[in-house]
Amino acid sequence: MRMKNFRKAKEFFWTNHAQRKMRFYRLSESRVKRVMHTPKRVEQGIAPDTAAMMQRAGTSKHPYEIWVMVQDTDKRRKIISAWRYPGTTKPGEALPEEILREMELSIKQ
């Protein structure tokens, strides 16, 4: 499956789930936009037709990753979720079950 081009300027649509997670993890709107603008890694999202973008952050002693899950439509870019992952993940590694369950619940709502 071919990844979409996420460089086009589109209107952002923030889901309530994404806004709550940003508040919980203390991520600003501009920080999430920065992750989408220059991701370190882009992977297939766990939900249909989504992509997950990641940027590394933190220090060498306490590294973490900031992840953003987005879904592109013709006119807008829907930000489904954003979270801070402690430590580092390997490319293509599956997400923890807790995050998967949260994502499934937010998509069903």
**How confident is the model over 85-101, as pLDDT tens digits?**
998 888 876 666 777 77
CA dist 99 and 78 (Å) reads 18
- Structural domain boundaries, residue 33: 11-108
pLDDT digits (tens, 9 = 90+) for 35-93: 999 899 888 888 888 889 999 999 999 999 999 999 988 889 999 999 999 988 888 76
- CA atoms within 13 A of residue 2's CA, in its CB half-sphere: 2
Please tell me the total count of domains within the chain: 1
Confirm whether 29 is domain-assigned: yes
DSSP 8-state assignment for residue 48: T
Domain with residue 70: its CATH number is 3.30.2310
Query: Taking 50 as the threshold, does the pLDDT of residue 1 lie above it?
Result: no
* pLDDT band at residue 7 using 50, 70 and 90 as cut-offs: low
Please compute the mean of the pLDDT values over residues 7-34 and round it to a whole number: 91
**Number of Cβ within a 10 Å radius of residue 59:** 7
Confirm whether 3 is domain-assigned: no
Identify the bridge partners of residue 83 per DSSP, sorted by sequence position. Answer: 67
Confirm whether 44 is domain-assigned: yes
Q: Note the pTM of the prediction, 2 decimals.
A: 0.76
Q: Which two tokens stand for residue 41?
A: 């890694």
- The backbone region for 108, taken as left when phi is positive above 0, alpha when psi lies in -120 to 50, beta otherwise, is alpha
